[in-house]
Structure 1
Amino acid sequence: MLKKQIVKELESVSKRTKAEIFQRFFKTGKGEYGEGDTFAGITVPEIRDICKRYYKEMSLKDVEFFIQHKIHEYRLLGLLTLTYMYKKAEEEKKTEIYSLYVDNLKYINNWDLVDLSAPNIVGEYLLERERSFLYELVKSNALWKQRVAILATFAFIRKNDFKDTLKISELLLHHEHDLIHKAVGWMLREVGKRNQDVEERFLKKYYKEMPRTMLRYAIERFEEGKRQKYLKGLV
Structure 2
Amino acid sequence: MLAIQKELKKYSSSKKVEILQRFFKTNTGEYGEGDKFIGIVVPDIRKVVKQNTALSLNEIVILLHSPVHEERLCALLILVTQYKVGDIKKKKQIFQVYLKNTKYINNWDLVDLTAPNIVGAYLRDKPKDILSKLAKSKNLWQKRIAILATFDDIYHKKSEETLKIAKILLHDKHDLIHKAVGWMLREVGKRVDEKVLLKFLDEHYKTMPRTMLRYAIERLSEPKRLAYLRGKI
Q: In which range does the TM-score fall when normalised by the shorter chain?
A: over 0.9
Are 1:181 and 2:178 matched, yes or no? yes
Q: Residue 86 of structure 1 aligns to which amino acid in structure 2?
A: Y
- Give me the whole-angstrom Cα distance separating, in 2, the residues matched to 1:171 and 1:140: 11
Q: Residue 89 of structure 2 aligns to which amino acid in structure 1?
A: E
Equivalent position of 1:232 in the other structure = 230
Report Cα offsets for 1:116-163 as digits up to 9, x if no partner: 010000000000111111111111111100000000000011111111
SS of 2:51's equivalent in the other structure is helix
TM-score by length of 1: 0.97
Report the more deviating stretch, 113-122 or 44-53: 44-53
Q: Which runs of 4+ in 1 moved over 2 A?
A: none
Equivalent position of 2:69 in the other structure = 72
Equivalent position of 1:126 in the other structure = 123
Equivalent position of 1:9 in the other structure = 7
Equivalent position of 1:222 in the other structure = 220
What's the % identity of the aligned pairs? Answer: 54
- Give me the whole-angstrom Cα distance separating, in 2, the residues matched to 1:4 and 1:36: 23
Equivalent position of 2:30 in the other structure = 32
- Give me the whole-angstrom Cα distance separating, in 2, the residues matched to 1:68 and 1:185: 30
Q: How much has 1:5 moved relative to structure 2?
A: 2.9
Unaligned runs of 5+ in 1: none
- Give me the whole-angstrom Cα distance separating, in 2, the residues matched to 1:142 and 1:213: 20
Equivalent position of 1:154 in the other structure = 151
Equivalent position of 1:60 in the other structure = 57
Matches within 5 A, 1:98-117: 98-117=95-114
- Give me the whole-angstrom Cα distance separating, in 1, the residues matched to 2:206 and 2:181: 15
TM-score by length of 2: 0.97
Matches within 5 A, 1:16-27: 16-27=14-25
Count of residue pairs brought into register by the alignment: 232
SS of 1:36's equivalent in the other structure is coil
- Give me the whole-angstrom Cα distance separating, in 1, the residues matched to 2:161 and 2:129: 10
- Give me the whole-angstrom Cα distance separating, in 2, the residues matched to 1:17 and 1:209: 43
1:164 to 161, 164, 173: 161
Unaligned runs of 5+ in 2: none
Equivalent position of 1:95 in the other structure = 92
Q: How much has 1:4 moved relative to structure 2?
A: 3.3
- Give me the whole-angstrom Cα distance separating, in 1, the residues matched to 2:226 and 2:150: 28
- Give me the whole-angstrom Cα distance separating, in 1, the residues matched to 2:16 and 2:183: 27
